[in-house]
Amino acid sequence: MSAKRPVPVDERSSRATGTPPPKRVRKKLSGRAAEAHDALETFRTTALSPVWDRWLGRFLDYARGGRQASEHTLRAYGRDLQDFFAYLDSFEVQDVQEVNRFHLRGFLSLLYEQEMAATTLKRKLSCFRSFFRYLMRCEILEKNPLEAIDNPRAPQLLPRFLERGEVERLVHIPDLTTVLGLRDRAILELLYATGARVSELVGLNLDAFSGDGMVRVFGKRRKERLIPVGRLAREALRDYLAKRRELLEKADPETAAPHALFLNYKGGRLTDRSVRRIVDKCVLEAATRCRISPHGLRHSFATHLLEAGADIREIQELLGHESLSTTQRYTHLDIASMMKVYNAAHPRARAVSSAEPAVAAEKSVNRR
C-alpha cells in the first residue's frame, strides 16, 4: 500500500510554550526571482498525475522502511519531489524513463532564479540523487541522469555557538516555579550536556536513562548511541520529573504520551517545533551575542569539549557522526585557542630571539 504523501506541518498553537511563534522574515526578491517563486508555488499547489503520485508513494515507502528515514526527512523528500514531479507534469512527462538531465537542469535553474541558497539547492539535489539511486537499484533506469550534475559550491560558514558564560545565563532563564519552566530548564541542560539533536531529544522516553548516568538516543536511521549526562543536567531532569505528573493529569487520554520524557501542556509528546520556540524565547531573554537554534547548543557542546582537550574522535562518537570530516567541519576553535595548543605542543613552536644565541655562547665560554 502506498504511503500517504506527507503534508508540510502547519503552525501549531503557541500555548505549549507560552510565546507567539517567531515571525518569518522573507527577503525581497527581484522581478525575475519573484516570477520563479510564483511558478514554484504553482507547482506546490498542483495535484500530481497518478503516475508521479504512485512513484512518490513508492519512494517514501522505501525511505521509511528501507533507509529508516526520520519523519522530518520524509517531509522534506515529499516537498522536494512534489515540486519536481509537478514540474515534469507541466511538460507532460509521464514516464520516469523519459526524465533526463535537461529536465533536472531546467528545474534547478528555476530554483536558482529564485535566489535560493546553495545549501538548500544541495539538500534538494541530495533528495533527487536518493530517488534516482532508488530507481537504479530497482533496475528501472540504466543510467542516472544526475551523473553529469555537480553540487553547487556552498560557502563554508562557521556555525554559531555560545560562550560558556552565555550558556550559563541561558539555562537560568526558565521560571522554576512552574512545571513548564522546570521542563524548559531540563531541555536546555540536556541539549547542552549531550549535544543531542532536537529530533533525538523529543524522541526520548522515560526508560532512556540508565542508572550509571547515561542516556540512550536514536539518531539518524535509528542508529543507537550512549551519551553521558552531566550532574547539572541530571539534577534539572530530577526536578522536572518530580512535577511531570501535573502535565499528565490534564491530558486527554487519546493524546496523552505517558512514556514520553518531555510533554507539552496537554500531556502529549513535545514536538521539535515547540523545542525551537522554547530555545528562541530563552535566547531572546538571555540577550546573548548571537541568535542560535537548538542546533547551536549542539555546536556549543562540541566546541567546548574540543577547547578543553577532548579527542575529536571521541566527540565524533558522542555526536553520532559517520564521518570524521563532518565533525571537523562542525566543531570550531578560535585562533587564540589554536595558537595556545600549538605553542604548548610543538617542540619548535617558539622562535628563538636574536639575543638567545649570544647569551648561550657567553655561558659556554664562561664554563670553559
- The residue annotated as part of the active site, out of 87, 192, 240, 330, is 330
350 is catalytic: no
- The residue annotated as part of the active site, out of 124, 244, 295, 304, is 295
72 is catalytic: no
Q: What letter would DSSP give residue 311?
A: -
Contact of 181 with 174, CB cutoff 8 Å: yes
- In terms of Cα–Cα distance, which of 115, 82, 60, 107 is closest to 8? 82
220 is catalytic: yes
Q: How far apart are CA 277 and CA 294, in angstroms?
A: 9
- In terms of Cα–Cα distance, which of 146, 142, 143, 240 is closest to 187? 240
103 is catalytic: no
Q: How far apart are CA 9 and CA 215, in angstroms?
A: 29
- The residue annotated as part of the active site, out of 185, 269, 299, 321, is 321
- The residue annotated as part of the active site, out of 185, 298, 299, 304, is 298
- The residue annotated as part of the active site, out of 124, 183, 185, 197, is 197
28 is catalytic: no
146 burial via Cβ count (<10 Å: 0-12, 13-18, 19+): middle
153 is catalytic: no
- The residue annotated as part of the active site, out of 64, 79, 160, 220, is 220
- Rounded to an integer, what is the distance from CA 242 to the centroid of its chain? 30
Q: Please list, in sequence order, all residues whose beta carbon lies within 8 angstroms of the beta carbon of residue 74, skipping any fewer than 6 positions away.
A: 6, 60, 63, 64
Helix residue ranges per DSSP H, the chain: 31-44, 50-65, 71-90, 101-113, 118-137, 164-171, 179-194, 198-202, 231-243, 245-249, 272-286, 294-307, 312-319, 324-330, 335-345, 355-367
- How many of the other CB atoms lie within 10 Å of CB of 191? 28
Q: Can you tell me which residue has the cell 522574515?
A: 25
Contact of 85 with 133, CB cutoff 8 Å: no
Q: How far apart are CA 37 and CA 27, in angstroms?
A: 12
Q: How far apart are CA 281 and CA 298, in angstroms?
A: 17
Query: Which positions are catalytic?
Result: 197, 220, 295, 298, 321, 330
